[in-house]
A and B are shown apart, each in its own frame.
Chain A
Amino acid sequence: MCDSTDSQEQQQQQEQPSGRKRATSKPCIKCKTAQPSVAIRLSVYCKDCFVKSAIVKFRSALSKSRKRAPVSRTKVMVALSGGATSSAMLRLMDDYQHMELKGAAAEPIYAGVVVGHVDESTVFSGYEDTQICAIATDCGVDVVVARLEDVFVPDSDQPALLELVHATIAPSASRDQFCVQLAKNDGATPGRERLRALFAGLGSATDREDMLDILKTFLLTRLARQAQCELLLMGDSGTRIAAKLVSLTSRGRGFSLPLEIGAESRLAGGVTVYRPMRDYIMKEIAFFNLWTKQRSVVVPTFTTGAPTTASIDRLTEAFVVGLDRDFPSTVSTVCRTVQKLELREDALDALPCIVCNLPAEPNAQVWRNRLTVSEAPNAQPALSNASAALVTDVKAQHQSPFDVTAHLCYSCQSLLHFAKPGLALPAFCFETYREHVKTAANSTSNDWHQRQETLRRQIEEFLL
């Protein structure tokens, strides 16, 4: 099917005169009879064939994954922001879940479908909460909602937050340093205020959008775990994935990139993320919603209504969308490249960054040093015993600052570099940090020293 479509596309491309486009005289490429209603990548479809092919595309996207893992007892969470792509995804998922009900041995494909939604009303005004819930109830599925400020809900075990004291990275600093101190999180400051302070304290719109993404991903994966969903469907369209590839790379997220935009990625906590909308460009989604009367809302971000230069995300989006208008295969070409990306082996067992919770490349500083001029770092273990003790006993020494540079990925270091001192990081940052400390404490001795010792023994005979 693909081959025939491609050859037809090429044919049409050749026939099309350069410059302005003219009204097409060809019938729909599927049924060959009806008048076309939409042009997707130079192929024209009638309304019925277009909607049908959109449904088939979704089914085949999920069926491919189904072959790899039995799903009859798997629960799925559909992440719904209320925007065009996620609303279309919910509609298509609802169709997929029930497609075999028409047959004789009718059973839903997955054990259950739940909608997970993150309420952003604390940060954005004009937020249409009731409408978003209505989109979910249209499909007759349960909705679980988390609020953005939930990331500051105190942890009952050890209620503490990491508070940034100062952040200095090269070239101005001789050594990168991200010093934090522990602050009590006893609920005295409401989560809403902490959340607003978090966004206000970040340096730029790009950083704010980055942080918003991190918070939403964290909340959605937590919602999925709480609802016992092994699968989480994220509504990233092909257009979005192409733009994200460029913007995430430019923000230094190359190491964890396949996890953030791949078709299937397994995140920490045992939740697998699928991105079934990656095969659709935004235009297909807009027409699908238009013709199936699927409701959606406008999901605001920090740069809604701002010029394209307001953030890296906006700029890359404008770049990709602009290219795609003149060269209609841009998005699909970029997406095919994304498919080939794989995680590096050392990323599989790398410790997660305490902010974004994605694998952090060890020695992000070495990377930065290659790009900038700074002094060589002093050889010292990543985690001193002092800070280990500090975390195990928060109440005793919560005032003295400690360095968390080794626990931050390259990109999150850039994110925090321009943040205001005194910025309180979400509660999960402290939890991940505590996990790191426990892991380090549990290992028999410090890894770094052990490696040095092994190396020394190996080359001992050759030493003069």
Chain B
Amino acid sequence: MESSVRGSDSGDARPVAHDEKCLTITAMYSGGMERLIKDEKTEVVHKIERKDDSTPLMMEEFIAYLGKTDVAEGKQDMFIQENSVRPGIMVIINMVDWEVEGELEYELKNNDCVEFISTLHGG
């Protein structure tokens, strides 16, 4: 994990194995998050075209993108707060806590799986 983040910094390990400039990223929603998503989907696969191959897709940008594509109309406020997710929503990148991965500064790679779990409303 750590090495791949560093790798993309140095430029040599940038995800190039996949098809040109297209990233395939799976977004998963649970713990009540699915209620904010269009058609209450729990899993959405995104194919994201990158215009410029040299700029990596950061988590911050990806969250804003999900807010437009996945989140149902009028519920964006319950997903996004100040360019990040709302407090109380856990973000898990490939089964690892995003706080370990650098939160908004994580660079997404091809075939990444990002899971959003809401812990709000107790349990």
A285 and B103 form a contact (CB under 8 A):
no
Q: Is A389 interfacial (CB-CB < 8 Å)?
A: no
Report the bound CA distance from A38 to B73 in whole Å: 32
Q: A25-B2, A286-B90, A290-B95 are in contact. Are A20 and B103 (CB under 8 A)?
A: yes
Report the bound CA distance from A184 to B107 in whole Å: 67
Report the bound CA distance from A426 to B36 in whole Å: 35
Q: DSSP class of B's interface residues: helix, strand, loop or mixed?
A: mixed
**Which of A267-275, A294-302, A335-343, A401-409 lines the interface with chain B?**
A294-302
Q: Could you say which residues of chain B place their CB within 8 Å of the CB of A240? A: 122-123
A298 and B100 form a contact (CB under 8 A):
no
Contact of A37 among B77, B97, B121 (CB under 8 A): B97
A239 and B103 form a contact (CB under 8 A):
no
Report the bound CA distance from A303 to B2 in whole Å: 40
Q: Could you say which residues of chain B place their CB within 8 Å of the CB of A85? A: 122-123
User: Which B80-95 residues sit within 8 Å CB-CB of chain A?
Assistant: 87-88, 90, 92, 95
Q: Is B101 interfacial (CB-CB < 8 Å)?
A: yes
Q: A35-B2, A304-B32 are in contact. Are A235 and B87 (CB under 8 A)?
A: no
A23 and B2 form a contact (CB under 8 A):
yes
B102 and A23 form a contact (CB under 8 A):
yes
Report the bound CA distance from A240 to B88 in whole Å: 12
Q: A20-B103, A35-B2 are in contact. Are A317 and B31 (CB under 8 A)?
A: no
CB distance from A191 to the nearest CB of B (A): 26
B100 and A24 form a contact (CB under 8 A):
yes
Contact of A39 among B95, B100, B119 (CB under 8 A): B100
Q: Is A86 interfacial (CB-CB < 8 Å)?
A: yes
Q: Could you say which residues of chain A place their CB within 8 Å of the CB of B75? A: 305
Q: Could you say which residues of chain A place their CB within 8 Å of the CB of B44? A: none
A23 and B31 form a contact (CB under 8 A):
no
Q: A25-B2, A298-B32 are in contact. Are A239 and B119 (CB under 8 A)?
A: yes
Report the bound CA distance from A85 to B119 in whole Å: 9
Q: Binary interface profile of B, 100-123, with partner A (CB < 8 Å = 1, else 0)? A: 111111100000000101011111
Q: A23-B106, A24-B100 are in contact. Are A299 and B120 (CB under 8 A)?
A: no
Q: Is A307 interfacial (CB-CB < 8 Å)?
A: yes
User: Which A80-112 residues sit within 8 Å CB-CB of chain B?
Assistant: 81, 83-87
Chain B residue nearest to A244 in the complex (CB): B122
Q: Could you say which residues of chain B place their CB within 8 Å of the CB of A237? A: 122-123
- Chain B interface residue bracket vs A: 20 to 34
B99 and A21 form a contact (CB under 8 A):
yes
Q: A39-B97, A39-B99, A298-B31 are in contact. Are A286 and B119 (CB under 8 A)?
A: yes
Chain A residue nearest to B34 in the complex (CB): A298
Q: Could you say which residues of chain A place their CB within 8 Å of the CB of B105? A: 20-23
Q: Could you say which residues of chain B place their CB within 8 Å of the CB of A151? A: none
A83 and B123 form a contact (CB under 8 A):
yes
Q: Is A325 interfacial (CB-CB < 8 Å)?
A: yes
Q: Binary interface profile of A, 286-323, with partner B (CB < 8 Å = 1, else 0)? A: 11001100001011110111010000000001100110
Contact of A287 among B2, B90, B101 (CB under 8 A): B90
Q: Could you say which residues of chain A place their CB within 8 Å of the CB of B78? A: 305, 307
Report the bound CA distance from A86 to B122 in whole Å: 10
Report the bound CA distance from A298 to B31 in whole Å: 6
A35 and B1 form a contact (CB under 8 A):
yes
Report the bound CA distance from A85 to B102 in whole Å: 27
Q: Is B45 interfacial (CB-CB < 8 Å)?
A: no
User: Which B19-39 residues sit within 8 Å CB-CB of chain A?
Assistant: 31-32, 35-36
Q: A83-B123, A235-B123 are in contact. Are A44 and B100 (CB under 8 A)?
A: yes
List the 3 shortest-distance A-B pairs measured between CB atoms, nearest first: A83-B123, A84-B123, A23-B102
12 sample A-B contacts, Cβ–Cβ < 8 Å, listed by A number:
A38-B96, A239-B122, A286-B90, A286-B117, A287-B90, A290-B117, A291-B95, A300-B121, A303-B121, A304-B32, A317-B88, A324-B87
